[in-house]
């Protein structure tokens, strides 16, 4: 497995630990997708945040593929997010959790601070 995919997998496993007993796919597919992409970008700085306007979903682009909480997904309809897209996602894609607390826990469990 490539290094960036290992980081993605570690982040997903870390979030599963933090949200134990809850469906992380549901959390990060309904309001939390931008937060996930933003966090992944901190650990994979060369990744790009991508947006599918039709699906109203964002993800990360790296290793020539598009990734979200579920892993590598179909890239059809995703484009690198513009500044306008980012502003839209920050306003409308609101996670259902305390983002600062989860971010601190992620940093502790990942063993990498950024």
Torsion sign over Cα 35, 96, 103, 87: positive
Is 110 a domain residue? Answer: no
Domain enclosing residue 40, as ranges: 3-93
Is 68 a domain residue? Answer: yes
Tens digit of each residue's pLDDT (9 = 90 or more) over 39-77:
999 999 999 999 999 999 999 999 999 999 999 999 999
β-sheet bridge partners, residue 68: 71
Is 99 a domain residue? Answer: no
* Alpha carbons 65 and 23: distance in angstroms, whole number: 24
For residue 32, pLDDT over 50 is answered with yes
Helix ranges (DSSP H) in 24-98: 24-29, 33-43, 83-92
For residue 97, what are its two tokens? 């959790």
Distance of CA 60 to the CA centre of its chain: 7
DSSP classification of residue 22: S
């Amino acid at each position: 497995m490539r290094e960036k995919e290992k980081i993605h997998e570690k982040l997903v496993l870390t979030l599963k630990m933090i949200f134990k007993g809850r469906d992380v796919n549901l959390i990060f597919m309904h309001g939390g997708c931008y937060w996930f992409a933003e966090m992944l970008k901190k650990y994979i700085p060369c990744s790009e945040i991508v947006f599918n306007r039709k699906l109203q979903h964002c993800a990360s682009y790296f290793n020539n593929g598009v990734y979200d909480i579920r892993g590598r997904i179909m890239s059809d309809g995703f484009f690198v997010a513009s500044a306008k897209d980012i502003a839209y996602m920050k306003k409308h894609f609101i996670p259902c959790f305390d983002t600062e607390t989860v971010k601190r826990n992620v940093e502790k469990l990942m063993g990498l601070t950024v």
